[in-house]
Structure 1
């Protein structure tokens, strides 16, 4: 649905850095009156985890597993070091989803009784699995430590693992596997306390057939040739991380340095293009480091995955995952790398304590990303990106319903639903706008000092928004005189920002001359209706990519006023069909599908068969279904189903209305509630 610009933007306002306070206009009328704000029901709990972390907590994992490509299984041992936080602890409860547990022993080798609890009726998403309850050999009291080792294997119903055939890779010569854990999928390939509030150091030993290269979100230590056709890789991660950042990839991989601290990893056939596109990684890393504080992870490595990867990027430390859709030849999608680099501080170093506070990861990261984009490419560039994503946030809110908790910055509670179902643009963009609003109250330099102080204060910790609020208020009390600090605090409606539904209590206006020019050109084409071309239309060729995206987005927002003749006139004048960047190409195909232009349906088939990024797949499949091309959509899905990741399959099946999806089969309900040894 098109954005209601009268709600979100006051058009025509040109904003400069010196006018930053003018970014915000108090919201006089909300689309839907927000519910009365209420405090969090359980600010420290994570209702996507079954783990009894208030009683006993993990502080180190040791993984020893075999990657079995023949059976598409991971199997091995998981040793967990635990520390009791309370007295009279008799059991450890871990998260798992669809794992086969063979046995569990303590540090003395004594077998421990355990059971997988039948899933509770009020847990609505089978991805969350069922609790693994392990009975300790004796009562543990506060301060006691113990080790348990779990022998297990995956079962094929593992939402985190994507197994690719050679044909699904770029080189087409070897199979490939990678994991995508965030937010709650990691439990499907290793048992853990799968919550961002628990951070652990970890070590790993990975056994695999010779010829495969393994990479993890950890430092490479050594490789040992076992002499029997297998090789072992050893890794260590000394910095504590949540379980969703413990990840690996294996395939035909090579690594190339592009800077003193930065490297690119990908398949050999893709290295030249990837290294060229990402040649500025060191500059980006240094820019973020200069804005924040010292980079603590020593190295930064980005793995460009095969095209089925469902996201733009994933911020695994020392092994950022990136979609090959960012490799377009003109560096126009390198901002994805800037975002993932910024996560090294906000997300990895300082982490949200539960998924209700996901905005502390994403809002802070988007804020830093756009600071760096503004420094490198100019203020309008960053504001244009914010404008486009603000539109996406509004569409997300409409899809949730404006009275939904998921339109809140802090949804308070997920009620057992897979948190991935709710992680849309609200956490990113509403969180970003909140931080820009705070910056407008204290000034850019002071807010930069706040960012640095916040990261230093909470380094290595997991936090909730109430802790962030307390820290901010303490910071301004120390920075300003009492009257000024009180004035700043009184300008912030914390409850409305955190728990108010729908749009923020003050609305950001990101309009600038670049946006206005692109929208004007689009409107001129619409008015001409295909009988002529606007004067000076060639200026489109000088637009930067996000400005071109604004142009096509304006056409989409006014698609009911655009005819096929105008569409073809634009295509011929501007040669837009040659644009490879999928931010543009996806929108152009969706626009053409809405206009029933069959050549765009044909191009859409090529797009959805070339990559698995959900951001681009779902609008195309939705447009096909909504515009009379459901049969095409079903056909496209059938021929690409094996290519897509489990997460992409689930998203597309929801659009197609399939009654049974592979994801719904990933249920723990089939596990009997029995005690095993």
Structure 2
């Protein structure tokens, strides 16, 4: 009890720290990326060029971007070649003249590379697709608080189909017969939800209200794809109702060679093995629900820094269970809750529990991920029990709508839930969010 009292006294300081962690100043804001990629699937390499439009937030002599393992070959402003250096997976560009605060400029970057992750190649399937993180296939500010619009094109052999983030534009046929697939993302989104997938896909489409659904796979027939993703429209309806925000745009789901699941803006990737699991047992819809939930909690309402990652992943896990409760019954929900608690208690038992808000998220362990994904979802379940159905879901909806298109910290969520409850929730947040369980009891 003494330790818990101390936690309550420290809460204002903890809240101040979460604000400070929200977004380190970079000195500029990316407005738009225009990226053209040419993957070589057989060689597992990529060539790219990018136009970057940005605004200086302060006098700006240099620009720093994340580039992973890519090799930048040239940086230009108009016809002028700019000096740059690479190191520690970053690109530092020296501007010819420091930009004044508020000035907007464009740069063109040429690059190539053979990423070992982030851009996944499977030559046997004639497939290429992106997973976390974006810096491995395009120079970018690879941080969740940086939102920008995107034009993306990927040049591929004519036999391949593709899906990508944004509104599909007409495919161009080039002089050599290759196809340039193009997408435009009109709403600014975090760079980590940019991406694409391409392969010798079979496809199925389906209209669900105003949303066109599209399903892709190398291994599954169109009929099998419709069976695998039969619940997709229902999921989107459920999450839209809980958020109080309709889904916008079209939604595409692809089964790729191997992934634990990857959300993008308007696209979700899952593995072919998962698709087979769903065909064998149609109740195994949790993963696709998790990725669909991210279209609201993660993509539209985004943690401002990885220290608050539980606002993405804990939320997606919890909303998945809430969907299963509606679709499959109370036992399905309680089964998810028990899994979360069991996973978290194992971490706590070995002394590895942690507050949901991290001081840093540079090298997360498996235990850290359990805290963010499983404990984060379990804490939302406990908050639901504390507040009751009406107040809890009212708060979730208000929080989501108020922060649509924004980057948030945990204090934003706490304020929304306190407003819905009409009272302070400091004791709950001090015990379950801002302190490890061992210190909170």
- Per the normalisation by structure 1, the TM-score is 0.59
Report whether the alignment pairs 1:370 with 2:321: yes
Report whether the alignment pairs 1:344 with 2:279: no
Which residue is equivalent to 1:64? 36
Q: How do 1:526-565 and structure 2 match up within 5 A?
A: none
Alpha-carbon shift at residue 397 of structure 1 (Å): 4.8
Alpha-carbon shift at residue 63 of structure 1 (Å): 0.4
Query: Is the alpha carbon distance of 1:44 and 1:247 closer, same or farther for their aligned partners in structure 2, counting shifts above 3 Å?
Result: farther
CA contact (8 A) 1:67 1:206 kept: yes
Which residue is equivalent to 1:116? 86
Greater fraction of residues in helix: 1
Query: Is the alpha carbon distance of 1:340 and 1:139 closer, same or farther for their aligned partners in structure 2, counting shifts above 3 Å?
Result: same
The counterpart of 2:123, out of the listed 147, 158, 165, is: 165
CA contact (8 A) 2:34 2:52 kept: yes
The counterpart of 1:137, out of the listed 96, 107, 111, is: 96
CA contact (8 A) 2:144 2:192 kept: yes
Report whether the alignment pairs 1:430 with 2:375: yes
Query: Is the alpha carbon distance of 1:241 and 1:504 closer, same or farther for their aligned partners in structure 2, counting shifts above 3 Å?
Result: farther
Alpha-carbon shift at residue 46 of structure 1 (Å): 7.2
Structure number with the bigger relative contact order (C-alpha 8 A, sep ≥ 6) is 1
Contiguous gaps of at least 5 residues in structure 1: 1-26, 120-129, 170-174, 507-677
Residue 433 of structure 1 aligns to a residue in which SS?
helix
Which residue is equivalent to 2:433? 498
What's the Cα RMSD here?
2.7
Q: How do 1:474-513 and structure 2 match up within 5 A?
A: 474-476=419-421, 480=422, 485-486=423-424, 489=425, 492-502=427-437, 505=440
CA distance in 2, matches of 1:272, 1:159: 32
The counterpart of 1:410, out of the listed 353, 357, 381, is: 357
Report whether the alignment pairs 1:323 with 2:294: no
Greater fraction of residues in strand: 2
CA contact (8 A) 1:326 1:334 kept: no
Which residue is equivalent to 1:630? none
Report whether the alignment pairs 1:380 with 2:331: yes
Which residue is equivalent to 1:454? 399
Alpha-carbon shift at residue 462 of structure 1 (Å): 1.0
Q: Tell me the alpha carbon deviations over residues 437-496 of structure 1, each in whole angstroms, 9 at most, x when there is no partner.
A: 3323332112111111111111111111122223333444xxx3xxxx25xx35x24333
Q: How many residues get paired?
A: 429
Q: Tell me the alpha carbon deviations over residues 175-230 of structure 1, each in whole angstroms, 9 at most, x when there is no partner.
A: 2111111xxx2212111100001011101122122212222122211111113131
CA distance in 2, matches of 1:303, 1:379: 29
CA distance in 1, matches of 2:18, 2:64: 19
Which residue is equivalent to 2:170? 222
Q: Tell me the alpha carbon deviations over residues 83-138 of structure 1, each in whole angstroms, 9 at most, x when there is no partner.
A: 1112x2111111111211111012x2221111113x4xxxxxxxxxx321111121
Report whether the alignment pairs 1:98 with 2:69: yes
CA contact (8 A) 2:314 2:372 kept: yes
Alpha-carbon shift at residue 421 of structure 1 (Å): 6.0
CA contact (8 A) 1:44 1:464 kept: no
CA distance in 2, matches of 1:60, 1:198: 11
Which residue is equivalent to 2:199? 251
Alpha-carbon shift at residue 422 of structure 1 (Å): 6.2
Which residue is equivalent to 2:285? 334
Q: Tell me the alpha carbon deviations over residues 256-279 of structure 1, each in whole angstroms, 9 at most, x when there is no partner.
A: 124423221112644432321221
Residue 424 of structure 1 aligns to a residue in which SS?
helix
CA contact (8 A) 2:259 2:269 kept: no
CA distance in 1, matches of 2:386, 2:355: 22
CA contact (8 A) 2:240 2:247 kept: no
Report whether the alignment pairs 1:80 with 2:52: yes
Which residue is equivalent to 1:195? 143
Q: Tell me the alpha carbon deviations over residues 311-333 of structure 1, each in whole angstroms, 9 at most, x when there is no partner.
A: 0x222122101123333222131
Residue 468 of structure 1 aligns to a residue in which SS?
helix
CA contact (8 A) 2:66 2:139 kept: yes
CA contact (8 A) 2:168 2:182 kept: yes
Alpha-carbon shift at residue 500 of structure 1 (Å): 1.5
Structure exhibiting the larger radius of gyration computed from Cα positions: 1
CA contact (8 A) 1:259 1:281 kept: no
Alpha-carbon shift at residue 423 of structure 1 (Å): 5.1
Alpha-carbon shift at residue 62 of structure 1 (Å): 0.6
CA contact (8 A) 2:154 2:182 kept: yes
Which residue is equivalent to 2:415? 470
Report whether the alignment pairs 1:241 with 2:193: no
CA distance in 1, matches of 2:106, 2:303: 27
Query: Is the alpha carbon distance of 1:457 and 1:326 closer, same or farther for their aligned partners in structure 2, counting shifts above 3 Å?
Result: same
Q: Tell me the alpha carbon deviations over residues 322-364 of structure 1, each in whole angstroms, 9 at most, x when there is no partner.
A: 1233332221311211221111110111001111111001122
CA distance in 2, matches of 1:252, 1:305: 11
Residue 187 of structure 1 aligns to a residue in which SS?
helix
Contiguous gaps of at least 5 residues in structure 2: none
Alpha-carbon shift at residue 70 of structure 1 (Å): 3.6
The counterpart of 1:445, out of the listed 351, 370, 390, is: 390
CA distance in 1, matches of 2:340, 2:413: 24
Residue 26 of structure 2 aligns to a residue in which SS?
coil
Alpha-carbon shift at residue 241 of structure 1 (Å): 1.5
Query: Is the alpha carbon distance of 1:268 and 1:258 closer, same or farther for their aligned partners in structure 2, counting shifts above 3 Å?
Result: farther
- Per the normalisation by structure 2, the TM-score is 0.89
